[in-house]
Structure formats: structure tokens, C-alpha cells
Structure 1
Amino acid sequence: MEPKTVVILGAGWAGLSLAHQLLQNVAPKVPGTKVILVSPNSHFFWNIAAPRGIISGEISDGHLFSPILPAFDHYQHHEQFEFILGAARSIGHASNTVQIQLNQKQGDVLTRVDTLREVVYDHLIIATGSRIVSNLPFKSVGSYEDHLEAWHELQAKIDAAGTIVIAGGGPTGVEVAGELASKFGRTKEITLVENSESLLYGRLPSVSQTAERDLEKLGVRMIYKNRATQSADNDSHTIHLSKGGTLTADLFLPLYGVVVNNAFIPDELMDWEGNLKLDPTLRVVGTTNIWGVGDVGNVEPKQLSSVLSQVGFLSGVLESVLLHGKPVEEISEVYTPVSRSPLFIALGRHLATGQFGSWKIFGFIVSFLKGRKLYLNNASSFIGGKTRQPFF
């Protein structure tokens, strides 16, 4: 069987997990198969815990950020794996090549160098994920050093702020409001602004109502049917509401909207929103050997449970192609999007709510499963490839 090189761009939830699954299920059975994992960030960020981690002293950096390379040390055949610290700059899908701008460490200083490395692939998986529109570090931003600096800066701003306005009543905004209010009580004034008529819009009304009631208990002020924006002159103390009026705050946290990390992707491979165009097998439309997985694609909403479901499916497809020699054109498997992903909302260590399918989950169950530790007890196992599921 002819050796194959599989290049995975991105070492977040999708890319890291897929690399482990290919090394475990395919590489040992197909001599010469090599998995190359590419990331500008040397560490994996456990962003499930970010809403609590932004509070200084709550979660250590060492628990939030885990080095990626040691997570692959336990594989016997090291020649089957390579980690490249750098970022994709362009794809030559006609020549099966990807250009990577390398990062380089000089002592303790990480620099982005002009050196471009061209890597030839047999199969390319794009798993570069997304970032928050505001570029707040709730998702990876640049290198580990860049992210850590932004993270500590945000922690310092939260420490110093007496009044905080959060924009966006989705899961992240709600959890951040809950964590801040749980920690600081009435010593900090927390306001949550949501553009729709309820929190967690699109979820069960009873779940939204529970989240609202619990935030009210914690002292969070909520404003609905308004979009909050910062002044154009970057005066962080003045927040404008779309229906008129302003708020005054020491700190503004816009936590709505995501942007796909797609700067290196050719325009013809993306839809009008900048998402990678994928067919039902998760192959990039118009290509024969480029695949997409996770937030970068246009398959379904950008949620972690959906990402992991896609990883499991794509691993099986690639196993059919690489191990069994099945032609790509003959793949009959079709990915089925997650109909309604589970939602677990932790509002500090003691208050919580959630839903599974069309069922509301009792708050004490969510608090027990997620609120206490935010799944950090499962982090090393997931990052090391020993489990495919970070939850429960």
C-alpha cells in the first residue's frame, strides 16, 4: 500500500482529535503513513473553562493551556507524526501543496520569521476553526505567547473594573456574566445586553427563563432587544445601545459573533460568508483530496459537540480511503448534522441550567457535571488522545 501524507491545519478541538484518531486507527496499519499537524499555537486552550478562567486566581495557566507536542509522545512510531509550529499562508490545490509561515523560538522569545515551508500532501484537512469577532481571547489568538499576553491583560482589566458591560446573551455571554457575578457579587456592577428578546435565543424557553432568573439572583442587570457597541473613538467608558441611550462602563466585553480563520483559503473554496464549502462527506467542494472539519466549514452551527461529531465521521471516511484504498468518488457515507446539540450552562459553581434534545436538564445535574470543574479533570485524557469526549 502506497504511503500517504495527511496534513492537518489547526490543532484545536477538531485538528488535535483527528490527528490522534488517524495515528491510532490508520497509521499503524498503513506503513509509511504520516500525519503532519500544523498550528501557530504550541499549546491547546481548554476554552470550555474560559468564562471562569478570566478571573485571576480561579484557574491556573497550566490548567488552561497544555503543550501540544508532549500529547503525542506516547506513540511508538514517531516517524509517523510531525508537529509544525507555524500558520498556513496559501494552498496550492492543483499541486497538492500548502505554504506554511514558520514560527521560531530564540530563547524565550517567539518570532514569526519570513521562512516559508512548502509541504506536499496526499490529503489536506482544514481545521483552523474560528475566533470571536472582537478578538477577545476566548478562543486561541495567534501564538501561545500572544494568547497568554492577551489573557493576562484581560484578567487585569477585569480585576480593575467596577462596572462591566457584556454584549451577547448566547452561551458564552451568559456564562461570563454568571461567573463574574458569582465571584464578585455586588462589588462589581455587571450588565448583560442581548439583541433578541431572551437569553440563549433558540433554546427551550424554560432554559432561557432559568438562566435569566439565576442571573437576576446574582445581581446581573439585563437589557434586551438592543445591540451594544463601543464608541468609535475607542472610549471604553461609553457603550451605545442600538435603540438609543448609552451605558457607562469600565470594561466592555463584546461576546457575540464568530469569524472563520480563512485568510489562507482560496476564494473559490469558500461560500459568501467565508465558510469552507463542504459536501456531505466533509470534502471541500471542487476538490478530490481536501477536507474540512469544525468551525471552518458550512455544515452546521459552530458548537463543540458538532465539531466532535464531524471529527468522528471524517476519521471513518479517511480510514476507508487510506486503509482500505476506497476511491474518494465511491464514498457512500454521508454526514448527518447534529439536530440539536446539548447545552450545559454553568453560572458559577452552584447555579446552572441546560437541555438535551427537547428536554430541560435539572440545574443540579449540570452543576455537578460541569459547574464544579468545567471538565478540566478530563483535559489531559482528551488532549493526550486517550478519550474522544471531553464531557462528563
Structure 2
Amino acid sequence: MRAKMYCAFLLRALGYEDGVDFLYADTLDFAMLHGLFNLSMLDAAPFLRDDLAAVTYQALGADLKDGSTYLLASLVESGAIDAEAARPITEKIEAYRALTAASQASSTGIDADYTMNMGMDIAVDGSDGTETIHETMSVAVSGNGRIQMILKDPLQLAISMNMNMESNTAGAGPDVTMQDQVSVQEWMQDGWVYIQEEMDGTTDRYKYPVGNMDGFAEFYQEMLQISGQMNSMMLPMIDSIDVSRTGSRTVYTMKMDDSLNSLLEDLLTALQEELAAMESPVDLTADLQSCTYVYTVGSDGELESCTADFDLDLVLGLPVTETENAQITAKLQMDMQMDVNATGDDVRISYPSFSNFEDLTPVLSGGEL
């Protein structure tokens, strides 16, 4: 069975008719706009049992065509599925739908202050044909800043980042400790990207045109359409959602499960294929150890804050010479918190004067990135 065939079946269960609401040839595009998505739907890859289970789960949480409810709720209401047997899934679906509704405005615009901390332990082992390579590095990064995005036409963006970085390297020679403080501000306006960097007392300002701005706008519009139907897309990757109350606020604690690793594996495979085509072969694997999000929603039903905490193991194989390789292993731990100032149409971005930003167009290939 192919993804198209099964998605057409699920869309019919949701009340859509092929030939009326969508053409069979466009089944996958239509399905992705209505809450069904799996990477196997993007190409001619085999549609496996895991893929079938994932999109079925998504369909159970997707809205019916008439918008009256979602599929699993309608099946329970009709008596096709026992309510008690379905309770663990319906509770997860309804918690996630409530969280998505509270976050909906942020899909078109968000203004948030954030803090982040990241630690990474890296080991490099291998040989260059004459000497054995063994180096270790620990990196600690802390930072804060603000992110503002208006994801409408015209697209607008403002990001500020203040980072403190410390690294310790040992192995090939004397141990080396380095500390850096970096401040970066970035804006996107009227088809241009503007960047200001401050490091070691030096400030650099430059700008470059965003290539194919119309393509970016079209891409974001598609993403906005999809985000309007996101109630079910993440369901197969969620292990649990706990809902609690703190005063007038609702707190959602969402833990992701191992299926995120399948998504990472597919993405890394695609990346490796691209690099191999450019004659830069690498062997890259990732293992997500844990991933937890905590969302706080105010009494007005709007998102107030979000924290993310995850642990990730990476293994990267790199060619050193024609016959020798090195392996880089990295353990990454990161936590980030965002405090939301505004969402949707309430987001406003103020821009500085860009008159003294150096134009990098002449040095870019073809004049664009």
C-alpha cells in the first residue's frame, strides 16, 4: 500500500470526498493541510506499518470536514469505539488540542524574551595515517535575548542574542581554555537581512538580500495553512501530556517519545545524501535521550511561556584522508525558556537605521544567498 492510497481512505473517514474536495493526484498535499503528515509522504519511499500507524493516530485527532469534532470523538459518540477503552487517547488528544488552540496566535506572530543554557561534551578519535587522534572538548554556552517574528506578507524578523561561551580542549597539546562574549542582532525587512555583531570590542554591520523572497513568502504561507491544522500532527511523537493548574494558569508538561528518533534518522539520511552528492560524505547518527516541553497558559487562554529541555547524543564519522577516518561523538544538553510578550497581530517590530550597514551583495555568488 502507498501513502496516497491510505491517506485518501483516512480523508474519506474525515468526511472529505475525492473528486469533490480534492483530486486523488493531490491527495498527499491535501492530507498535509488537514493534519496528516509523515516523511514517507514526501517521496516514493515504502509506506511501512510504522508510517501507517502514525498517520492513523493523526487522523484520530484530526477535525472532521464539518468541524463539529475530531474523528476519535465522533467514533466514540457513535458507539463504534468504547469510550473507556479510548479514554487514554482521547485525554491526550484533547489536552494537545487545547494547548494548540492556546498557541495558535503564535503561528502568525510572536514576541518573546528567552534564556538558554547549553552544555556539550565532545570527543574526537581516529587516525590521520601517521598519528592517532584523540581530543576532548567541553563547551558551555549561556545566553539571553529577544525574538520577534511576523510570519505574514511581508515577512519581518528581529532577533537579539547575548552569549557567553567557555570551552576547554585537551588531547593534542597543552590544555586550552577559551572564553568569549558575543552579541548578535539580526533583522529581516523588505527582502534584506541585516546583521550586527559585537565581539572583543569590535562591531561589524552588514546586509545581504534574501534570495527568492517570493519563494520564502510562499513557503511561509503554506506553513501557516498547515499550522492551522496542527492539532494532530505531533500526536504520534508525544509520550504523555500532563495538565495541572497553578492559580489561574494551566500548565501542560509534554514529554516526547522515541519516535522523534525516527524523524531525526530520516532527516539525517536526507542530509547525508545531499552531502554525498556534493562529494562531502559523512556518517551521522543521532539519539535523542529525552525531550520535555512545559507550556504555561494564562487565564485568558493565551500562551504565556514555554520551556524546552532535551538531551541528544550525536556520532559523526568524517574522512581524514582517503583511507583514514575520525569519529566525533558529542553529548548535548540544552534547556531554553521563552516568556511571551505578544502574539499574532499584537506583535510590533521597531527597526534601527540601516544606512551604515555594509552591502555584501558584490561578494556573494550571483549577488544573492
TM-score band, normalised by the shorter chain? under 0.3
User: Highest CA radius of gyration, 1 or 2?
Assistant: 2
TM-score with structure 2 length normalisation? Answer: 0.26
